[in-house]
């Protein structure tokens, strides 16, 4: 019988069913998975990482190195869950990890007998040769052996979420120091948040059997929690681990809502919190460490405080004959509580000889060490240094306490060694953090409460809270005295790190081989790595290193603590940003209309744009695109071009501003006209292009490419605010406010005339090429009309306020039927601009200049504008510079490939002979063969010459003829007609 009849914080009336390795068990509400397992007499829960030695439950908290289980099944499964942190629920399914065969008879145990060969650096030394073996033999073996649990390799169906919180004071840890601090702060009215990783707040006081204000300490916890719960300025967060401390008082926290797969599809499994605090107090307490002796990793050997807490909090006695091994006073507390609970305490062995037993009526042996533990799958006996053998089925070990100072180090705080309590204590914590109680190395409750009082008063005053009332606390003074680490390293198979199977021998070997520093030691031996990050093992390992190196603990120092404090699942970082929600989509104003026209959509930046519109009978995308091009060029087509960036520019100096940001002149652009503009970077490289229309003396409307809409706007803001702060210029992005459509083709004017309100004349005389005007359409809808053409046809772009877009596009398609109006997508748009030789994103790739684009003459020589001086750099204006030209395959049946490089015929395809590259290709339905645009040296002087377009990826060489970039209507008669 392992469960005592009464007491503790469990509800014996509420039974919970769970399974471990396929067997069903019963636990109680308030149990963790580990307390429920121990309550059923189960110690053996896993196998160690390297040697596959049996592993039991070692602790009762998040520091657990051994009791790692595979929780839940199928796609819900998660490996390496610490059984000590899982709140038991009905229907929990758990399995042990890392064994071949059954848990009690693991085939891989053979590694333990081969351990002489598997010491530190085994991989590095063994898998060196032959080199060819690495990929085929060694790596698969290592990968197969590595890791403890298994992933489902399926998508995780659970939900995860994120949240953001703000507070005056963040209290980290809800043990006695945390709750007391929280109470003092809460009564001032300060906005406070209290977080604790446990699912019940109270920290160690939930597992201790001590009196405070003449009551049991867990009752004191309840009374404080009930007051805190009643206050609106307090937020209590249980099951929430603060995993990282970041700059300016920002903290990351993980709240575990549920592990139960029955809940986690509908409600979040974990929530990742970002907490912004003005100040924080770290009240995270301290963790116990083990003691070194042979076979100290056997199941049944546990931390002393954990044994005490299993007994007091969960009513579980983890053995029938328990012994205690300690070097400090705290071990005796365990003996006292176990005895009180009716457990048979065999004896307590204290390393210290010159002490008066703090507790009477317990068999004790002073001044002795345990040299070896024995047992197969569970400890059965211990042997002392005087040869005496003691039979025991559970050993509670207390090697002293290590403050939980991790969060003080995330911004490079470096702990100091304390010679009195023999532990590292915080040093240089973040500026807005104070460390209180055991986390600061104070292991005495009375001192801890005083410490809280003094520090909180000061913190709250600095935060501006003056009315501070302090609660009185009466608690018996607890002595904590500890012996230093032994001066001699014990011999035999002694475990330092239970999780990574690092022994004393491995540390000796690593130092022998030259890995002297703690950081190197960690990486070479894996000491303190993996899920527990050495919470138990680090200081023990450092004590061995300090002995070997004959240096003090302070000189040895610690490795750098980094976030996270405990593991955070990737799912929590992803939150809701999964699959389609990874980033937001922007829909064009005509999206629904396009959808009803059977459009195929493509992602263009954040936008979903119609790529083409297949109709019945079309089997390939090319058929659709060819039809759209031909129908537009013969009749009329419509395309949503809202995604182009639109920037409204107003103010007295707008003209001068445009002159400054564009490379070509805009100041003299007449009202009612549009001009093509090329924008350069200050270093002379082409940045973006588009058109800008002048609607009045001081009002311009600029368009940018879709891709650069954001960067151009930001660049203009920079130019305005930082370079020309005195100019009267106002910018606003109106991309989303105006829906804009291109209407292109010989019948576009006739169609538009029908929708324009009666008095508006758009004849060629009144509204010639490059004209613009504010008009109304379809009985009063305000619109902006531009006579510009990307396709090379007689064409217009018309913008209407977004709210009219759906109506507008439906109406115009209805009216357009008699002109055979066709909707065209981005593919047809691309084909037509390549046929016309217009540059786009492929050509403006951040490497090319106005000179390369054939637009060198546009660049203003008179004004000072961004980039014009630097565009005249010699290097950018050499005679053999790249020029944008067209290409056609000699064999017209061949397809061109974008990205191909141009090599002179007969020359080898290498970097030296590289003449340029193909930037855009398309099949031209008008010419009935493939065409391309690209950059080639002196291209504008080489029309008619033949070169090879080389595609080394597919080993293809295509002979191409250099051509003018204008394949279609080179004189531009159509667009002016």
Residues in contact with another protein by CB under 8 A are 246-248, 250, 276, 411, 682-683, 714, 717-718, 721-723, 725, 864, 868-870
CB closer to another protein out of 90 and 682: 682
SS3 breakdown of the chain: % helix, strand, coil, rounded to 5?
Answer: 25, 30, 45
Q: Please report how close the Cβ of residue 870 comes to another protein at its closest, in angstroms.
A: 7
In total, the chain counts a number of residues equal to 977
CB closer to another protein out of 85 and 868: 868
Residue 916 and residue 956 in contact, taking contact as beta carbons nearer than 8 Å = no
Q: Is 945 exposed, middle or buried (0-12, 13-18, 19+ CB in 10 A)?
A: middle
Residue 647 and residue 701 in contact, taking contact as beta carbons nearer than 8 Å = yes
Q: Please report how close the Cβ of residue 714 comes to another protein at its closest, in angstroms.
A: 7
CB closer to another protein out of 568 and 594: 568
Q: Please report how close the Cβ of residue 467 comes to another protein at its closest, in angstroms.
A: 26
CB closer to another protein out of 386 and 721: 721
Q: Please report how close the Cβ of residue 732 comes to another protein at its closest, in angstroms.
A: 10
Residue 657 and residue 667 in contact, taking contact as beta carbons nearer than 8 Å = no
Q: Please report how close the Cβ of residue 729 comes to another protein at its closest, in angstroms.
A: 13
CB closer to another protein out of 147 and 563: 563
How many C-beta neighbours within 10 Å does residue 118 have? 15
**Residue 298 DSSP SS3:** coil
CB closer to another protein out of 531 and 868: 868
Q: Please report how close the Cβ of residue 726 comes to another protein at its closest, in angstroms.
A: 9
Q: Please report how close the Cβ of residue 413 comes to another protein at its closest, in angstroms.
A: 11
Which token pair is 660? 């400054």
CB closer to another protein out of 132 and 862: 862
Q: Please report how close the Cβ of residue 737 comes to another protein at its closest, in angstroms.
A: 16
Q: Please report how close the Cβ of residue 567 comes to another protein at its closest, in angstroms.
A: 20
Residue 702 and residue 690 in contact, taking contact as beta carbons nearer than 8 Å = yes
H/E run at residue 398: strand 394-398
**Residue 802 DSSP SS3:** helix
Beta 78-82 vs 92-95: how paired, if at all?
Answer: unpaired
Q: Please report how close the Cβ of residue 280 comes to another protein at its closest, in angstroms.
A: 15
H/E run at residue 302: strand 301-303
Q: How far is CA 705 from the centre of its chain?
A: 31
Beta 301-303 vs 286-288: how paired, if at all?
Answer: unpaired
Q: Is the peptide bond before 79 cis (omega within 30 degrees of 0)?
A: no
CB closer to another protein out of 166 and 803: 166
CB closer to another protein out of 714 and 905: 714
Q: Please report how close the Cβ of residue 719 comes to another protein at its closest, in angstroms.
A: 9
Distance (Å, whole) CA 117 – CA 140: 20
**Residue 292 DSSP SS3:** coil
Q: How far is CA 22 from the centre of its chain?
A: 35
Q: Please report how close the Cβ of residue 928 comes to another protein at its closest, in angstroms.
A: 48
Residue environment code for 534-551, b if the CB has 16+ CB neighbours within 10 A, otherwise e: bbbbbbbbbbbbbbbeee
Q: Please report how close the Cβ of residue 431 comes to another protein at its closest, in angstroms.
A: 8
Q: Please report how close the Cβ of residue 883 comes to another protein at its closest, in angstroms.
A: 25
CB closer to another protein out of 873 and 892: 873
Q: How far is CA 126 from the centre of its chain?
A: 35
* Nearest alpha carbon to residue 841 among 850, 830, 851: 830
CB closer to another protein out of 199 and 276: 276
CB closer to another protein out of 360 and 864: 864
Beta 738-744 vs 636-640: how paired, if at all?
Answer: antiparallel
335 φ, ψ to 5°? -60, -45
Q: Please report how close the Cβ of residue 681 comes to another protein at its closest, in angstroms.
A: 9
CB closer to another protein out of 246 and 804: 246
Classify residue 757 as left (phi > 0), alpha (psi -120 to 50) or beta: beta
- The residues, any chain, with a CB within 8 Å of residue 766's CB and separated by 6 or more, are none
CB closer to another protein out of 685 and 853: 685
Residue environment code for 388-397, b if the CB has 16+ CB neighbours within 10 A, otherwise e: eebebbbbbb
- The residues, any chain, with a CB within 8 Å of residue 147's CB and separated by 6 or more, are 79
Measured between its terminal Cα atoms, the distance across the chain in Å is 99
Q: Please report how close the Cβ of residue 959 comes to another protein at its closest, in angstroms.
A: 42
Radius of gyration (C-alpha) of the chain in whole angstroms: 38
Distance (Å, whole) CA 460 – CA 190: 8
CB closer to another protein out of 682 and 961: 682
CB closer to another protein out of 418 and 860: 860
Q: Please report how close the Cβ of residue 688 comes to another protein at its closest, in angstroms.
A: 18
Q: DSSP assignment of 74-96, as one string?
A: GGG-EEEEEGGGPBP-TTEEEE-
CB closer to another protein out of 242 and 292: 242
Helix residue ranges, H only, 664-739: 709-718
Distance (Å, whole) CA 208 – CA 340: 12
Q: Please report how close the Cβ of residue 412 comes to another protein at its closest, in angstroms.
A: 8
CB closer to another protein out of 278 and 838: 278
Q: DSSP assignment of 470-534, as one string?
A: -----B------BPPPPSSPPPSSBEEETTTTEEHHHHHHHHHTT--SHHHHHHHH-TT-TTTTT
């Amino acid at each position: 019988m392992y469960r005592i009849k009464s007491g503790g914080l469990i509800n014996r009336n509420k039974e919970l069913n769970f399974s471990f390795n396929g067997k069903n068990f019963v636990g109680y509400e308030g149990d963790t998975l580990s307390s429920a397992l121990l309550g059923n007499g189960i110690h053996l829960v896993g196998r160690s990482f390297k040697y596959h030695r049996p592993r039991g439950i070692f602790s009762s908290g998040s520091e657990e190195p051994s009791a790692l289980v595979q929780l839940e099944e199928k796609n819900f499964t998660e490996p390496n869950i610490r059984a000590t942190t899982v709140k038991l629920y009905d229907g929990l399914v758990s399995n042990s990890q890392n064994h071949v065969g059954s848990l009690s008879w693991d085939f891989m145990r053979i590694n333990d007998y081969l351990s002489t060969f598997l010491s530190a650096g085994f991989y590095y030394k063994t898998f060196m040769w032959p080199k060819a073996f690495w990929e085929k033999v060694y790596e698969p073996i290592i990968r197969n052996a590595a890791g403890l649990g298994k992933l489902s390799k399926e998508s995780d169906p659970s939900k995860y979420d994120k949240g953001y919180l703000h507070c005056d004071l963040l209290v980290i840890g809800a043990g006695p120091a945390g709750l007391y601090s929280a109470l003092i702060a809460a009564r001032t009215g300060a906005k406070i948040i209290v977080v604790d990783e446990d699912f019940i707040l109270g920290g160690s006081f939930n597992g201790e059997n001590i009196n405070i204000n003449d009551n049991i300490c867990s009752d004191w916890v309840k009374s404080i929690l009930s007051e805190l719960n009643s206050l609106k300025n307090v937020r209590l967060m249980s099951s929430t681990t603060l995993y990282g401390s970041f700059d300016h008082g920002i903290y990351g926290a993980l709240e575990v809502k549920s592990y139960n797969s029955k809940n986690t599809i509908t409600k979040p499994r974990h929530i990742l919190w970002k907490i912004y605090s003005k100040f924080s107090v770290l009240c995270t307490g301290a963790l116990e460490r083990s003691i070194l002796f042979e076979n100290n990793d056997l199941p049944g050997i546990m931390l002393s405080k954990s044994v005490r807490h299993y007994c007091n909090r969960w009513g579980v006695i983890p053995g029938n004959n328990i012994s205690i091994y300690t070097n400090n006073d705290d071990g005796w507390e365990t003996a006292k509580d176990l005895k009180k609970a009716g457990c048979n305490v065999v004896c307590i062995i204290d390393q210290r000889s010159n002490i008066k037993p703090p507790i009477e009526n317990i068999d004790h042996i002073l001044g002795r060490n345990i040299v070896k533990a024995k047992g197969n799958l569970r400890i059965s006996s211990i042997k002392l240094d005087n040869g005496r053998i003691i039979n025991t089925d559970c050993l509670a070990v207390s090697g002293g306490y290590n403050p939980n100072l991790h969060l003080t180090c995330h911004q490079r705080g470096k702990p100091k060694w304390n010679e009195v309590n023999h532990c590292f204590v915080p040093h240089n914590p973040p500026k807005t953090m104070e460390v209180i109680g055991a986390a600061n190395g104070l292991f005495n409750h009375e001192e801890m409460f005083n410490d809280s009082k003094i520090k909180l008063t000061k913190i709250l005053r600095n935060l501006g809270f003056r009315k501070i009332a302090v609660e009185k606390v009466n608690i018996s003074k607890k002595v904590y005295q500890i012996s230093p680490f032994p001066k001699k390293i014990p011999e035999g198979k002694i475990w330092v790190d239970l999780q990574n199977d690092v022994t004393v021998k491995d540390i000796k070997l690593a130092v022998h081989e030259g890995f002297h520093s703690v950081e190197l030691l960690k990486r070479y031996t894996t000491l303190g790595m993996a899920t527990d990050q050495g919470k138990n093992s680090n200081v023990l390992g450092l004590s061995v290193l300090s002995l070997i190196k004959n240096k003090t603990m302070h000189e040895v120092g610690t490795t750098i603590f980094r976030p996270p404090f405990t593991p955070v699942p990737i799912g929590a970082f992803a939150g809701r940003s999964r699959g389609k929600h990874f980033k937001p989509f922007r829909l064009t104003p005509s999206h629904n209309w396009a959808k009803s026209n059977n459009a195929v959509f493509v992602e263009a930046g954040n936008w979903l744009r119609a790529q083409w519109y297949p109709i019945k009978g079309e089997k390939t995308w090319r058929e659709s695109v060819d039809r759209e091009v031909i129908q537009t060029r013969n009749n009329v087509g419509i395309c949503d071009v809202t995604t182009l960036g639109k920037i409204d520019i107003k103010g007295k100096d707008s003209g001068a501003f445009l002159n400054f940001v564009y490379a070509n002149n805009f100041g003299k652009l007449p009202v009612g006209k549009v001009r093509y503009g090329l924008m350069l970077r200050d270093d002379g490289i082409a940045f973006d292009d588009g058109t800008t229309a002048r609607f009045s003396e001081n009002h311009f409307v600029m368009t940018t490419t879709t891709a650069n809409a954001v960067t151009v706007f930001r660049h203009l803001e920079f130019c305005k605010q930082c370079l020309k702060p005195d100019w009267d210029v106002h910018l606003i992005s109106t991309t989303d406010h105006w829906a804009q459509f291109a209407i292109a083709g010989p019948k576009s004017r006739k169609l538009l005339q029908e929708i324009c309100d009666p008095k508006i004349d758009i004849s060629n005389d009144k509204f010639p090429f490059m004209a613009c005007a504010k008009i109304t359409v379809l009985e009063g809808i305000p619109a902006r009309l531009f006579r510009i053409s990307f396709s090379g046809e007689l064409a217009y772009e018309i913008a209407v306020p977004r709210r009219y877009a759906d109506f507008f596009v439906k109406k115009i398609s209805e009216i357009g039927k008699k002109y055979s109006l066709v909707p065209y997508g981005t593919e047809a748009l691309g084909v037509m601009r390549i046929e016309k030789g217009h540059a786009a994103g492929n050509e403006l790739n951040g490497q090319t200049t106005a000179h390369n684009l054939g637009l060198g003459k546009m660049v203003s020589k008179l004004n000072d504008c961004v980039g014009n001086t630097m565009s005249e750099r010699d290097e950018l204006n050499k005679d053999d510079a790249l020029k944008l030209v067209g290409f056609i395959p000699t064999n017209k049946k061949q397809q061109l490939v974008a990205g191909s490089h141009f090599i002179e015929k007969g020359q080898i395809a290498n970097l030296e002979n590289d003449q340029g590259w193909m930037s855009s290709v398309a099949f031209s339905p008008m010419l009935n063969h493939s065409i391309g645009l690209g950059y080639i040296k002196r291209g504008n002087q080489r029309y008619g010459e033949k070169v090879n377009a080389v595609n080394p990826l597919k080993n293809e060489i295509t002979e191409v003829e250099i051509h003018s970039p204008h394949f279609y209507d080179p004189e531009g008669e159509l667009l002016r007609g």
